Amino acid sequence: MNSYFHEKECQNSEQREQSLVARLSSFISYATQECDYYQQSLKHIDADKITSRALLAQLPITRKSDLMALQNNNFPLGGLNTQKANINRIFQSPGPIYDPENTSDDWWRVGQAFYAAGFRKGDIVQNCLSYHLTPGGFILDSGARACGCTVIPAGPGQTEQQLDLIEHLKPQGYCGTPSFLKILLDKGKEDKRDTSSITKALVTGEALPETLRTDFNKAGIKVLQAYATADIGLIGYESIAGDGFIINDDIIVEIVRPGSLEPVNDGEVGEVVVTSFNLDYPLIRFATGDLSAVKPGSSACGRTNMRIKGWLGRADQTTKVKGMFVHPEQVEKVRLKYDNITKVRLSISKENHNDKMHLQCEMDLNGFTNIEIELTSTDIASMLRQVTKLSGTVELVPIGSLANDGKVIDDLRPIN
């Protein structure tokens, strides 16, 4: 049996680098000819001269946080799609941001992450990432099928029905968020349900604390992580627990100083910037908003591509909650619905491995009764859920209670 999904995973590092940079000139030329956006943003660039990482680093950056404005001006994909793109689905991620998909095999390139996590032909996989509007469920679905697996498109929630599926179909694998796997195992144990068929898992969408990974190991489940986004697909993946994320072989990743074009030194924390050679949806120096750092050396598994240390926070205030992005613009949208709210702050915490949102709203509470405070809080919580598609608690606080530090989203979750 092959040790690798692609043999190029263990190719000479210098050969891989030469192969990737050799593609830059023709790909940039293709993008400027085929994409409305790059015709403008790269119009002064001589594509033939972009033949190294150093020269690539001189090109402008496109930020994920800019996509909403770009798409509003050039609906639906901001002109980043090619004129000849074969787009079979368009998803809506929170923001809203629209993301395309070509349904060709393993378009998101996630197969190698599943393979590294031990998934093989004939395995049954319960996919518990959402298939509704956002692409997460489809991203994992395509990667599992690329390994020859049979997928149960379960999505999140409906814990009792999920446990029925596990007992009846006995899947060998799980994919989805780590917190939902924990929910399934805890509920299964409480109700004396048999979940022992699951021995492997590929998780994504939120951080995996080592304490939780230890719990999974005790339950007989080997859990590895994938780092993927709705724009790019797979960026990196684990092959050995806690040993960093190996970068996908078909992209160029830079770690860049937040707010600038300049790559940082190896080992220094910066923003993950990706160039993806996608003929339908070219992304050239696309800034994800995620922070990470290069991990020195190469993996003991034999894969030779560069590694990063995993998710180390956000370069901006956008964050992920239960696998969904929450943007400062969304929190501001909630505030603007109410004339008497002067300032808001959304705090993100984690309790029992589950993400929690708590929105504090500054307003003049003089004359408010307890009932009025409760009714107003309930109404704002409903608006928060409507805008972000996620539930959270709301607290009304007197004017002057929140720090004057410009923070709209305060992520209080530990990095590890």
- In this prediction, residue 281 has a pLDDT band, given cuts at 50, 70 and 90, of very high
Structure-token pair, residue 214: 């230890």
Residues 227, 364, single domain; the answer is no
Residues 331, 313, single domain; the answer is no
Structure-token pair, residue 88: 């079979």
Query: If you average pLDDT over every residue of the chain, what do you get?
Result: 94
The pLDDT of residue 258 is above 80? no
Contact 115, 142 (CB under 8 A): no
Residues 101, 241, single domain; the answer is yes
- Name residue 401's amino acid: S
Residues 266, 339, single domain; the answer is no
Q: Give me the CATH number covering residue 379.
A: 3.30.300.30
Average pLDDT for residues 294-302, to the nearest whole number?
A: 94
Residues 209, 341, single domain; the answer is no
pLDDT score recorded for residue 148? 98
The reply to whether 101 falls in a domain is: yes
- The beta strands (E) that lie in 35-190 are given as 62-63, 89-93, 97-101, 124-127, 150-153, 173-176
Long-range contacts of 373-376 (CB under 8 A, 24+ apart): none
Average pLDDT for residues 243-254, to the nearest whole number?
A: 97
Residues 251, 216, single domain; the answer is yes
What residue numbers bound the domain in which 404 lies? 324-411
pLDDT score recorded for residue 259? 66
The pLDDT of residue 415 is above 70? no
Contact 274, 56 (CB under 8 A): no
Residues 89, 25, single domain; the answer is yes
The domain boundary residue, chosen from 318, 339, 364: 318
Total-model pTM:
0.80
Number of domains within the chain: 2
Residues 32, 166, single domain; the answer is yes
Among 132-141, 157-166, 314-323, 378-387, the least confident range: 314-323
Residue-wise pLDDT for 108-140, tens only, equals 999 999 999 999 999 999 999 999 999 999 999
The pLDDT of residue 315 is above 80? no
Residues 80, 212, single domain; the answer is yes
Residues 278, 210, single domain; the answer is yes
Cα(84)–Cα(79) distance, integer angstroms: 12
The reply to whether 2 falls in a domain is: no
The reply to whether 1 falls in a domain is: no
Average pLDDT for residues 219-224, to the nearest whole number?
A: 98
